[in-house]
Structure 1
Amino acid sequence: MKTMRGQLLLGLLCATLLCVLAAGASLYRSLLEETNELADLQLRQLAAALPNEFAPDTGMALAQDPEEMFVLQAWDDAGHQQVISPDKPQLPRYAVSGFAEVTVFKQRWRLYGETRRGRYVQVAQPLEVRDGLAAAMALRAGAPLLLFALILALLIVVVVARVLAPMERLAQAVAGRSADALAPLPVQDMPPELRPVVASLNGLMHKFDQALQAQRSFVADAAHELRSPLTALKLQLQLVERAETEAARSEALRKLHERLDRATHLVRQMLSLARHEVALTEGQLTTVDLGQMLEAAVADHSALADSRAIDLGVVAPAKVNIAADPDALQVLLNNLIDNALRYTQQGGTVDLQAGVEAGRPLLRVSDNGPGVPLQYRARLFDRFYRPDGNDAWGCGLGLSIVRNIADQHQAQIVLDAADQGSGRGLMVTVLFPVPAAAPETATASVPG
């Protein structure tokens, strides 16, 4: 691919060359017209002179310059030719009155003829003489133009290099930075045309900085959170090794498996969180039926719900279509249902809803568990945060994953108590943006 400098220089130099050639061609045509007019005037003046004045014995010399070569001929009334220029080629008599162009001896001539004082006078000149004269004049007149064109080309090269110098400085400033040097580039020293580019680069580096900080924070939190379960696994393994009875060894192994499950769940959640921090692309969005997704989720979690005697079902089934990433939305729903089943007591209820509220599609998961006090709800989305007093094991990443996926879909999460009177239970509502076009099928609305 050609560089911008090369394209700019090539375009300007080619434009300059075309202008010079066009100016030279125009100058040549103009000079040729002037030369023809002057030469025609000379032909008429020569014809106007008496033929006897150009006789060899008159002492009047004929033109000897090849650029002014004329053939002067005359015929008397009897048709006898009077030799006036014996050293010039003799042309046939054309008996014209005025100007004409003829071809004689494979050479084009411009001639003028008229009858004067009883004689027919014919004056001719080769057209190549006129062309050569015009070309010589154009060359003499165009030589300064070519010189100025060369000077202009040099000036173009200098000006282009000077104008593109800020781009070179910007490229060097960006190339000379390390991966951790994400300070904003100076905008004031840049020309107005480059300031939007620099501003965009600064915005991009700011996003990179935020991503790096989030990554460092994530790695630090992950290292801190993984240290405790790994230490617990090590201690539990030592208890297995020191068990003296089969019953003690079995109990220790059971707890070891439980801690391994928790560690596996933690790693799985961390990987899911890292995967869903990446922004979605247009190609990942497809039409998703929230009602159908809820029914499939009930079937997937029915075994866990039955094991805890929890009533899991869909309230007021509705067909609600949204544009979303189905895989990411499935992860969001699984985390909400998993949290609801995990923190709901034995014999509790978990309800799933899909509908439209104020024109916005929604997804809602509510339970009748102990709920979350109002002062703790804002921190539920923080990584590895778990409110005090929870007996159910977990890693505190479920709602962080839910928030990331909701942000990817420009959705809003609302936390509220499922039972407003007692304050028990937790109701998580995910409100999606208003669709650009209304869906073809009617959707059911649910109360807020």
Structure 2
Amino acid sequence: MMRGLRSMIIMHWIFAVVTAAVLIYALFVLVAQTGACHPGAFAGGLALIAALLVLLAWPVSLRITKPLERLEDSALRIARGELSARVEISETHVIGKQLGDAFNIMAETVERMVRGGKELTANISHELRSPLARIRIAGECLKEALERGNPEEAQEMLQAMWEDIEEADRIIGRILEFSKVDLHEPLAMAEQVAPAQIVEGLARTLTPFARSKGIEIGVDLDQGVRVVGSEEWLRAAFKNLLENALRHTAAGGSVQVSVRSGDGCVLLEVTNSFAALEPEELELIFKPFYRGRTCNGEGTGLGLAIVRKIVGLHHGEVGARNVPEGFQVWIRLPAAMQA
């Protein structure tokens, strides 16, 4: 965009300079042909050329300063807290339209980030309020039990407090993980990654936990596919996805994971024997702290939100759908170019 803006300004000034050079050359030719060089006439010619240059430069100046004034006004409005402020510039104003579009994209990004930060703060307060309130109540009960000399009740209150402290710690840990992904810069140290190898390792690690719940993990992996990205972040996304599936699968159920290629993409699908969701929930489950109507109370509601952010960093897509086998979350990532 800036290259196009500079090119347009340079073209205007080249035109003005060439025009001035032609006029000055014509003036000297006229003086040479007439053989006369009246000082007043020559000065008048130069003054006329200067006036023509001003007339040529004036429109260029207006086309630059007017949009900048509007940009300044909108920027000051945003600084005052009017995050919805946008700059409107006519389609016919090429230079201003380019600047305006870039400014509006920035303004929308800032508004979305601020709004997201406020929502996250509100959600954090809500999520931490419950365990903290229970800890306070348990602390009061513990004090009363000790005053009455009831060690059994005091032990129960201590255990309840410990469980709530662990829950608060788990929530804070997930929030930190979510924020780390949210603030992550675009992937600069990208490498070729084998998703099937990551999934295979995670399935092997999570199998003991799955079997303790009576859940079977099945895999169907294409070992030859590759994507470009961060192995660390992709492992975090796949781990969140698999843990979420295991958490929401009943005893005796199964979790099936597949990795395959198609249409220039790598597709990962995690299917578990879970009750079908309502159509509107298929999108809501990726929002931070959202818990569905069938949630069993486990988890923080951040797992799938983290997955979406990591997949977005890799220019991919993530979604959910009901399938005959139960419920499925899929990830589509651009496939790496094969050498």
Q: Does TM-score exceed 0.5, indicating one fold?
A: yes
Percent identical across equivalent pairs? 22
Decide whether aligned partners of structure 1 residues 310 and 249 sit closer, same or farther in structure 2, where only a CA change above 3 A counts: farther
Corresponding residue to 2:247 among 334, 339, 342: 342
Between the aligned partners of 1:280 and 1:360, the Cα distance in structure 2 is 23
In the superposition, relative to structure 1, how do residues 291 and 7 fare at CA in structure 2: closer, same or farther (>3 Å)?
A: closer
Offset, 1:293: 0.8
Q: CA deviation at 1:411?
A: 1.7
Q: Determine if contact 1:229/1:259 at 8 Å carries over to the other structure.
A: yes
Aligned partners of 2:67 and 2:89 also within 8 Å: no
Out of 69, 88, 98, the position equivalent to 1:186 is 88
Which structure has more helix as a fraction of its residues?
Answer: 2
TM-score, scaled relative to structure 1: 0.59
The structure 1 residue matched to 2:173, chosen from 257, 265, 268, is 268
CA drift at 1:165: 4.0
CA change 1:326–1:26 in 2 (3 A) is farther
> Are 1:414 and 2:320 an aligned pair?
yes
1-structure distance, mates of 2:261, 2:16: 64
Q: Is the 8 A contact 2:187 2:229 kept in 1?
A: no
Q: Distance in 1 between matches of 2:298 and 2:18?
A: 76
Does 1:372 find its partner at 2:271?
no
Question: Does 1:216 pair with 2:122?
Answer: no
User: Aligned pair count?
Assistant: 323
Instruction: Please state how far the C-alpha of 1:322 moved relative to its aligned partner.
Output: 1.5
Give the direction of change, closer, same or farther, for the CA distance of 1:403–1:17 in structure 2 (3 Å limit): closer
Counterpart in the other structure of 1:254: 159
Q: Distance in 1 between matches of 2:211 and 2:91?
A: 68
Residue 380 of structure 1, CA deviation: 2.6
Please name the residue that 2:226 is paired with. 321
Larger Rg: 1 or 2? 1
Distance 1:143 1:281, change over 3 A: same
1:402-429 CA deviation, whole Å, 9 max, x = no partner? 2333344332423335xx3xx6x54333
Shift of 1:24: 5.8
Equivalent residues of 1:27, 1:138 under 8 A apart: no
RMSD: 3.8
Decide which of 190, 206, 227 is 1:301's aligned counterpart: 206
Q: Residue 13 of structure 1: CA displacement?
A: 7.6
Match of 2:330 among 411, 429, 434: 429
Question: Residue 175 and residue 311 in structure 1: after superposition, are their counterparts in 2 closer, same or farther (change >3 A)?
Answer: closer
Check conservation: 1:262, 1:394, Cα contact below 8 A.
no
State the 1:304 CA deviation: 3.8
1:29-87, CA deviations, whole angstroms, 9 ceiling, x for partnerless residues? x45xx9xxxxxxxxxxxxxxxxxxxxxxxxxxxxxxxxxxxxxxxxxxxxxxxxxxxxx
Q: Do the aligned partners of residues 303 and 252 (structure 1) sit closer, same or farther apart at CA in structure 2, a change above 3 Å counting?
A: farther
In 1, Cα distance between equivalents of 2:91 and 2:218: 63
- Deviation string for 1:108-128 (max 9, x for gaps)? xxxxxxxxxxxxxxxxxxxxx
Secondary structure of 1:194's partner?
A: helix
1:345-398 superposed Cα distances (whole Å, 9 cap, x missing partner)? 456544432222566422122344xx1333275243343232345445222222
Structure 2 Cα separation of the partners of residues 347 and 256 of structure 1: 32
CA distance in 2, matches of 1:278, 1:322: 22
